[in-house]
Structure 1
Amino acid sequence: MKTPKIIFTFLLICCFFTGFATIESLNGKWQGLLKTDHGDEYPLLYNFKIDGDQLTGTAKTPKGDVPINDGKITGNTFTFNVMVNNMEIDHTGKFYGDSVGVDISLGDAKSHATLIKAVTP
Structure 2
Amino acid sequence: MIKKTLATVVMVMAFAAFCFAGDITGNWKGTVNDQFEVGYTFKVDGEKLTGSSKGPDGSDTAFSDGVIKGDDLSFSIDIMGNSTKIKGKIKSDATDKTKDTITLSFAVNGQDVTLVLSRVK
1:22 aligns with 2:17: no
Rounded to whole Å, the distance in 2 between the matches of 1:52 and 1:60 is 24
The yes-or-no answer on 1:112 pairing with 2:114 is yes
Structure 1: runs of 5+ lacking an equivalent: none
Letter in 2 for 1:43: E
| Cα distance between partner residues in 2 of 1:42 and 1:9 | 48
TM-score, normalised on structure 1? 0.83
CA 1:31–1:47 in 2, change beyond 3 Å: closer, same or farther?
same
Question: Is the Cα contact below 8 Å between 2:22 and 2:69 reproduced in 1?
Answer: no
Q: Does 1:86 align with 2:85?
A: no
The residue number in structure 2 matching 1:60 is 54
Percent identity of paired positions between Structure 1 and Structure 2: 23
Moved more, 105-114 or 67-76: 105-114
Question: When the two structures are superposed, what TM-score results if normalisation uses the length of structure 2?
Answer: 0.83
Task: Kindly indicate whether the alpha-carbon contact (under 8 Å) linking 2:21 and 2:70 is maintained by their aligned counterparts in 1.
Answer: no
Question: What is the RMSD of the two structures over their aligned residues, measured on CA atoms?
Answer: 1.7
Q: Which of 59, 77, 85 in structure 1 is aligned with 2:72?
A: 77
- Structure 2's unaligned 5+ residue stretches are 93-99
CA distance in 2, matches of 1:106, 1:13: 42
In structure 1, C-alpha distance between the alignment counterparts of 2:72 and 2:108, rounded to whole Å: 19
Provide the aligned length of Structure 1 versus Structure 2: 113
